[in-house]
Structure 1
Amino acid sequence: MPPKKGPTILTKSTVAESRLFKIEALDLEFSNGEKRTYERMKPSGRSAVMMVPITQDGDILLVREYAAGTERYELGFPKGLVDLGEEPEQAANRELKEEIGFGAHKLTRLKDVVLAPSYFSSKMALFVAQDLYPEVLQGDEPEPLEMVKWPLAQAEELLTHLDFCEARCITALLLTLRIKTQLGLSL
């Protein structure tokens, strides 16, 4: 079944902006003649990456990082924006080196996801990172990130951990567990 054609965009306008974000209003006309105004974050044209790093010993490496949205430290996977001219795989390796001090010889792309597609268009590529090697790059974090090792064999417990609640992290972990045999992992 082909995808349904979207409504006609009549106008686009920026209705608010901050240093980091622009909110855009879209005046739409649907196929039945109904007209509505939707608001969304204006697309930046940049995508992001998130990696599930797995050590040879079967541990996943997480970072504990301050999240302004929840006003607390959250436990999650290394992630970041893809720089101009970078491929997602290059960005994944760079972010690993900046956030946990390891690169990966093997990156397996799990899926591209979108967070809240009614409001955002930015995509995030999810990867499993294996065959890790030590290498550190200077990142842009305001403080050193705490790296946390977690046995992949205890991933079910991580899913219920209070500090591990970001939907994209949960998605990445579940997708990793789904293909663990293909990745050569035994739990």
Structure 2
Amino acid sequence: MTKHKHPEILSRSVVAQSRLFAIESLELRFSNGEERTYERMKPSNRGSVMTVPVTEEGDLLLIREYAAGTERYELGFPKGLIDPGETPEQAANRELKEEIGMGADTFVPLKQVVLAPSYFSSHMTLFLATGLYPERLQGDEPEELEVIRWPLQQAEELLTHMDFCEARSISALMLALRALNNHPLNAQ
């Protein structure tokens, strides 16, 4: 595999901005002399987390939440941004408490993923959470989220559910199933 030298950034500027997002334009020169303009979401330098919570009874806990991008309710796993000063595990536990009213004793890191790396720089750490216990924190959602219990034994069926189509949730589920292969829950 050939190793490419990173392109030189000739300039960068914000070309559009909203309350939540800034679009940045990058003028790049590649090692072969070619120059191009790329646009991307300006990096926020804040990571995010998504957690696959599994109960002692062997159920996955999902949330049904309105997604403005698709203009419909989507089924997925609890997720959110890492607050300043938080570790990814702390953020994952806080998000669980805010979104499903449960904390967890154990977090198993599954993988760090990126979404559309040509346009976004944010990283999301995926976790498997076990040892759940009841604890609720006030979240920032505009309405209470519906918590859905899904039997782990029927996880494959979740992949075909019409409301479960967010790529990070699908990745998290597949990685969690692989991690659970030798987990005590599967011995039942």
Same topology, TM > 0.5? yes
**1:86 maps onto 2:86 in alignment:** yes
Which residue does the alignment assign to 2:41?
Answer: 41
| Alpha-carbon displacement from aligned partner over 1:110-143 (angstroms, at most 9, x marks no partner) | 0000000000000000000101000000000000
Cα distance, 1:3 vs structure 2: 5.3
SS of the counterpart of 1:96?
helix
Separation in structure 1 between the aligned mates of residue 113 and residue 146 of structure 2, nearest angstrom: 26
Cα distance, 1:183 vs structure 2: 3.2
Which residue does the alignment assign to 1:73?
Answer: 73
Separation in structure 1 between the aligned mates of residue 107 and residue 174 of structure 2, nearest angstrom: 17
- Per mean C-alpha deviation after superposition, the further-off stretch among 3-12 and 63-72 is 3-12
Counterpart residue type for residue 141 of structure 2:
E
Counterpart residue type for residue 86 of structure 1:
E
Q: Which residues in structure 2 correspond to 1:134-145 (within 5 Å)?
A: 134-145=134-145
Cα distance, 1:52 vs structure 2: 0.1
Which residue does the alignment assign to 1:56?
Answer: 56
Separation in structure 2 between the aligned mates of residue 107 and residue 3 of structure 1, nearest angstrom: 35
Which residue does the alignment assign to 2:166?
Answer: 166
**Aligned pair in 2 of structure 1 residues 8, 166: CA closer, same or farther (>3 Å)?**
same
Which residue does the alignment assign to 1:110?
Answer: 110
Which residue does the alignment assign to 1:126?
Answer: 126
Q: Given the two structures, how large is their TM-score scaled by the length of structure 2?
A: 0.96
Aligned-residue identity in percent: 70
**Aligned pair in 2 of structure 1 residues 2, 83: CA closer, same or farther (>3 Å)?**
farther
SS of the counterpart of 1:173?
helix
**Aligned pair in 2 of structure 1 residues 60, 3: CA closer, same or farther (>3 Å)?**
farther
Separation in structure 2 between the aligned mates of residue 18 and residue 43 of structure 1, nearest angstrom: 14
Gaps of 5+ in 2: none
Cα distance, 1:181 vs structure 2: 2.5
**Aligned pair in 2 of structure 1 residues 140, 3: CA closer, same or farther (>3 Å)?**
farther
Q: Given the two structures, how large is their TM-score scaled by the length of structure 1?
A: 0.97
* Runs of 4+ deviating beyond 2 Å: 1-5, 181-185
Cα distance, 1:65 vs structure 2: 0.2
